[in-house]
Amino acid sequence: MALREEILTVIEKNSRIGINELATVLGEDEINVANELKAMEDEGIISGYHTMIDWSKTSIDKVMALIEVKVTPTRGMGFDSISERIYRFPQVSSLYLMSGSFDLMVIVEGRSLLEVAEFVNTKLAVLDTVQSTATHFILKKYKDHGTVLAKKQEDTREKVSP
Partner 1 sequence: MRNPLSNKITEIKPSGIRKFFDIVQEMDDVISLGVGEPDFDTPWHICEEGIYSLEKGRTFYTSNSGLKDLRVEISNYIGRTQNVFYDQADEIFITVGGSEAIDLAMRAMINPGDEVLIPQPSYVSYEPCTILADGKPVIIELKEENDFRLTAQEVEDAVTDKTKILVLPFPNNPTGAILEQKDLEEIAEVVKKHDLYVISDEIYSALSYKEKHVSIVTIPGMKERTILINGFSKAYAMTGWRLGYACGPKEIIKQMVKIHQFCIMCAPTTSQYAAIEALKNGDDDVEMMRKEYNRRRLFLLSEFKKMGLECFEPFGAFYVFPSIKKYGLTSDEFAVKLLEQEKLAVVPGTAFGDCGEGFIRISYAYSMDNLKVALERLKRFISTLQK
Task: Using CB under 8 A, pick the residue from 18, 48, 76, 162 that binds partner 1.
Answer: 162
Judged by CB under 8 A, which stretch of 6-14, 44-52, 60-68, 131-139 contacts partner 1? 6-14
Residue 142, judged by CB atoms within 10 A of its CB (0-12, 13-18, 19+), counts as: exposed
The answer to whether 5 contacts partner 1 (rule: CB under 8 A) is: no
Say whether residue 148 binds partner 1 (CB under 8 A): no
Report the alpha-carbon distance of residue 106 to residue 119 in Å, rounded: 12
Among 5, 7, 6, 15, residue whose Cα is nearest residue 147? 15
Report which residue type is found at 43: E
Distance between CA atoms of 30 and 25, rounded to whole angstroms? 11
> Does 151 engage in binding with partner 1 (CB under 8 A)?
no
40 binds partner 1 (CB under 8 A): no
Least distance CB 91 / partner 1 (angstroms): 35
- 3 is a site residue for partner 1 (CB under 8 A): no
Q: Which amino acid is at 91?
A: Q
Contact 96, 83 (CB under 8 A): no
Pick the piece of the chain touching partner 1 (CB under 8 A) from 8-16, 68-76, 115-123, 138-146: 8-16
Which residues form the interface with partner 1 (CB under 8 A)?
A: 9-10, 14, 21, 24-27, 155, 157-162
